[in-house]
Amino acid sequence: MIIGCWTARALEHWGAVVGRPVTEGDVEAATWEIARQGAALGAPAYLAAVERLQAWSRRVASWWAEGFDLLVTPTISTPPPRIGEITPDGENAAASKVFALISFTPQFNVTGQPAISLPLAWSEAGLPLGIQFVAASHREDLLLRVAAQLEQAQPWAERRPPIWAGSAG
């Protein structure tokens, strides 16, 4: 609900910036679906979602007090999807596909916890597979130290998939 409201507001904001309303043809199908759902919510539903999120954020923050330093998850729930795989094929289908794909990352966007995704593995097709590291609030220093150590142990800066934005093909 909250992401939908944020997305609807972002499209409204960018419409004001460019001097015309943002339309369905201006954004990806999933973005339009999410914004449409958010715009349809009323203030009571939005505030109830904020209350649930705040309570959940407190529970997540308390997990670190149990002595954990890092949480390690995949960045996305499947290998990278093929181009065109996340397209609408029914009502809310694109948004559902996106949320299923990114199931490990939004919770840390909304709790404000620091997280970093590193390309530490590669699929058989030569595509990077991200590993996400999450730390307690205000522990960006820990994430950066771990990332530096991992990059030294397993360099990724020069690795490229078969087709990428800088390739001629």
Instruction: Give the range among 71-75, 89-93, 105-109, 162-166 with minimum mean pLDDT.
Output: 89-93
The model's confidence at residue 14, banded by pLDDT at 50, 70 and 90, is: very high
In this predicted structure, the answer to whether residue 168 has a pLDDT above a threshold of 70 is no
In sequence order, what are the beta bridge partners of 122?
A: 128
Q: Is 26 helix (H, G, I), strand (E, B) or coil?
A: helix
Q: Give the 3-state secondary structure percentages of the chain, helix then strand then coil, rounded to 5.
A: 50, 10, 40
Q: Average pLDDT, stretch 49-54?
A: 90
Q: What CA–CA distance (Å, rounded) separates 17 from 84?
A: 29
The model's confidence at residue 92, banded by pLDDT at 50, 70 and 90, is: low
pTM of the full structure: 0.72
In this predicted structure, the answer to whether residue 50 has a pLDDT above a threshold of 80 is yes
Q: What CA–CA distance (Å, rounded) separates 25 from 23?
A: 5
Q: Average pLDDT, stretch 103-124?
A: 88
The model's confidence at residue 42, banded by pLDDT at 50, 70 and 90, is: very high
